[in-house]
Structure 1
């Protein structure tokens, strides 16, 4: 239990930090790619969509799972709080509230990561739809 108590915050926030870095990296990479992509360079819509959707799954996975990582940190923090209080044989409401408040910071961090990740994913998917529509319009204009 002492190892968990010592490394819980470090491990949860390190994992969320790595996830945030990956989400930001892939979001920026996609934005730069979308800025320079030419739909006329692709012979087939499917090939274009493969390139357009690259790394979007990772952003979505991070956005949907970050709250669970935070929640796991919170549950383990609450477990540690109750374990420590159980060893003291006293009921100190201040210690309980402090422990619970500190445990909830992991959930807050997970949600704080999830919101911009999902927003980025949705915005990038909109750009995929726009570029795909441009491809289709250009192909149908060339066929007429």
Structure 2
């Protein structure tokens, strides 16, 4: 339990920071990709769709799992608070409330990672759908 007490916050925050970094990298990569996209570079609809939807799955995984990572940090924090209470033998309301409020910061950070990632995912998914439809129309016109 001492290991969790000493390192759980750091581990959860590092995981969420890595998730945020990967999400930001994927968003920037997609924006740069869309800027230089040329329809003529793709021979088929399938190749085009695969290219424009790349990295969207990564964003989906991050936005759907970041709250759970934050929740895990909160659960661990609450477990540590209850463990410390059982060792102390007395119930000090101030220490309980402090421990619980510190535990909730992990959930908040998980949501801070998830919400912008969800917004970026939806925007990029919409853009890829629109580009796919444009590609389809252009191919039909050229056929």
Tell me if both proteins adopt one fold, taking TM over 0.5 as the criterion.
yes
Partner of 1:17: 17
Q: Distance in 2 between matches of 1:129 and 1:2?
A: 50
CA shift for structure 1 position 42: 1.1
Deviations 1:118-143 (A, max 9, x none): 11111000111111111111111112
Partner of 1:113: 113
Q: Which runs of 5+ in 1 are unaligned?
A: none
Q: Which runs of 5+ in 2 are unaligned?
A: none
Query: Structure 2-normalised TM-score?
Result: 0.98
Show the 5 A alignment for 1:1-144.
1-143=1-143
CA shift for structure 1 position 40: 2.2
Stretches of 4+ aligned residues off by more than 2 angstroms: none
* Preserved contact between residue 68 and residue 110 of structure 1 (Cα < 8 Å): yes
Query: Structure 1-normalised TM-score?
Result: 0.97
**Across the two proteins, how many residue pairs are aligned to each other?**
143
Q: Distance in 2 between matches of 1:48 and 1:137?
A: 13
